[in-house]
Amino acid sequence: MVMSKGLEYLTRGQVDQYQAKLLACYRRYLRIPGFLGNDETDALLTRSKQLLDEFNIDDHPLTKFTTSDKNHVGDDYFLNSGDKIRYFLEEDAVDSSGKLTRDKQRAVNKIGHALHELDPVFRKVTLENEKMKSVARDLRFHNDPVALQSMVIFKQPQIGGAVPEHNDSYYTSPPTALGFWIALEKCTHLNGALSFLPGSHLTTPITKRFVRTTGGGTGFEHLDVPEPTPERGDLVLIHGSVLHKSERNTSARTRYAYTFHMIDSPPYATYDEKNWLQPTPAMPFSRILDAPNKTTVSMAA
Ligand SMILES: O=C(O)CCC(=O)C(=O)O
Ligand SMILES: [Fe+2]
C-alpha cells in the first residue's frame, strides 16, 4: 500500500492498520512515503536556505547545539527559543577565537524552535495543512493535539553532529509525544539518517533466529532489519517511547530535515513544568485540530 496524500485518502480499516503498525512494529516508527509533494518539499528547502542566508552572526551569542551529558546546551539563547526562530551552531564550526571555521550556511546545526508558528512557509505545512490534520485526526493518539519544538536540522557535510539516542516522550504525563520528521533531502546511513533501536520497547528483542543453513545444518541468522532511507518528502512518525538517534554526517552531502513534536493537551495530558521548553502567555502551544478528537487510542497500547 502506498500512501501518497496523507491518511484522509485511506479507508478506516487501512488507517487502523497503520495505527496498529505504529504501536506494534518492531521499531515503532512509521514511514509515510511522499507525504509532501515535490513543490511542498521544495518550498521548505528553499525557505531553510533563505533562513541560513538571513542568519546574522554578528549579534549571535555563538550558542552551539551540544548534547553530551557533560556539555548540554542550556544558555538563555537556547532556553528562550521555544517561541522564536533561533540558530544553533555546530560544535566544530567555531574556533577558539570565536570565529566561524566555514561559511555561515555550513556552520548551523539547526534552527528552532517556533518555525511552525512564526514562519509562514513552515506554518503552512504544520498548522494549515489538511494532510497534517488528517494524520492527527485519523491516528487518534491525541484528543487535542498541539505542536511544539519545530526544527530544521541540517546535518552539515563532514561536521553535522550526531544526535545521541533518546526518546521524545518525557514532555507529558501520560506520555503522548509523537515525532513528525520530514526528510527534505534523501537520507542514507552516510549523511546521518535516523536510526531506531530495534525492539527498544520490548523486554526481549528478537535479534536472531535459528534456521536451516544452505550446507544442510543449522545456525543462527542475524536479523538485520534495514534502517529507513527516506526520500525527500517522506514523513517518518516516531513513537514517543522508541529510542532513536542519528550519526554524525561524515559525507559531503547535507541532510536537511524538518521535524516537530506533537503532544496532547490538558485535561488529557499534563505538561511538565521542568521541561526545558515552556509555552509562554504570548505563544501557547499551537493547536492542530479545530475540533478535538472524541475517541483516542492510548500510545501505551
Ligand atoms: O534529525 C535527527 O537527526 C534527530 C531528530 C529527532 O530526534 C526528532 O525529530 O525527534
Ligand atoms: Fe527525537
Ligand 1 center–CA 194 separation, angstroms: 7
pTM assigned to the model: 0.85
In terms of Cα–Cα distance, which of 89, 87, 90, 194 is closest to 151? Answer: 87
Ligand 1 center from residue 185 Cα (angstroms): 14
Residue 16 belongs to some domain of the structure: no
Banded model confidence at residue 110, pLDDT cuts 50, 70, 90: very high
Residue 143: pLDDT band by 50, 70, 90 thresholds? very high
pLDDT digits (tens, 9 = 90+) for 150-164: 999 999 999 999 998
Q: Is 274's pLDDT higher than 90? A: no
Q: Which atom of ligand 1 is nearest to the CA of 259?
A: 9
Residue 137 has pLDDT above 80, yes or no: yes
**Ligand 1 mutation target, pool 48, 165, 167, 244, most atoms within 8 A of CB:** 244
Domain contains 162 = yes
Q: Is residue 14 part of a domain?
A: no
CB under 8 Å to 251, separation ≥6 — which residues?
157, 158, 188, 190, 191, 192
- The structural domain count of the chain equals 1
CATH of the domain at 209: 2.60.120.620
Ligand nearest to the CA of 167: 2
Question: What's the gap in Å between 165 CA and the centre of ligand 1?
Answer: 10
Expressed in angstroms and rounded, the spacing between residue 177 Cα and the centre of ligand 2 is 10
Q: What is the mean pLDDT of residues 266-277?
A: 92
Band (69; pLDDT cuts 50, 70, 90): low
Is residue 49 a part of any domain in this protein? yes
Residue 263 corresponds to which cell in the numbers above? 503532544
Q: Print the domain residue range for 261.
A: 27-297
Q: How confident is the model at residue 2 (pLDDT cuts 50, 70, 90)?
A: very low
Per-residue pLDDT at 203: 39
CB of 150 within 8 A of CB of 285? no
The band of 215, judged by pLDDT with boundaries at 50, 70 and 90, is confident
Residue 119 has pLDDT above 80, yes or no: yes
Question: What residues line ligand 1, using a CB cutoff of 6 Å?
Answer: 153, 163, 168, 179, 181, 194, 238, 244, 246, 257, 259
Whole-angstrom distance, CA of residue 108 vs CA of residue 89: 4
